[in-house]
Amino acid sequence: MSGIVKLFHNPNCSKSRATLHLLEEHDIKPQIIEYLIMPLDKSIIENILEKLGKEPRDIMRKNELVYATNKLKNENLSRSQLIEAIIQNPILMERPIVLANNKAAIGRPPESVLKII
For the chain, how many structural domains are there in total? 1
Q: Which residues are catalytic?
A: 13
Q: Could you tell me the CATH number of the domain that includes residue 45?
A: 3.40.30.10
Q: Is 72 in contact with 85 (CB distance < 8 Å)?
A: yes
User: Is 33 among the domain residues?
Assistant: yes
Please report whether residue 80 resides in a domain: yes
Q: Which domain holds residue 103?
A: 6-116
pLDDT at 94: 96
Question: Residues 32, 36, 41, 47: what is their CA dihedral angle, to the nearest 10 degrees?
Answer: 50
Q: One digit per residue, pLDDT tens: the chain, 117 residues?
A: 558 999 999 999 999 999 999 999 999 999 999 999 998 999 999 999 999 999 999 999 999 999 999 999 999 999 999 999 999 999 999 999 999 999 999 999 999 999 999
- Rounded Cα–Cα distance for residues 30 and 9 (Å): 10
Residue 39 lies in a domain: yes
Q: Please indicate, yes or no, if residue 1 is contained in any of the structural domains.
A: no
C-alpha distances (whole Å) from 36 to each of 19, 26, 48 are: 17, 26, 16
Residue 26 covered by a domain: yes
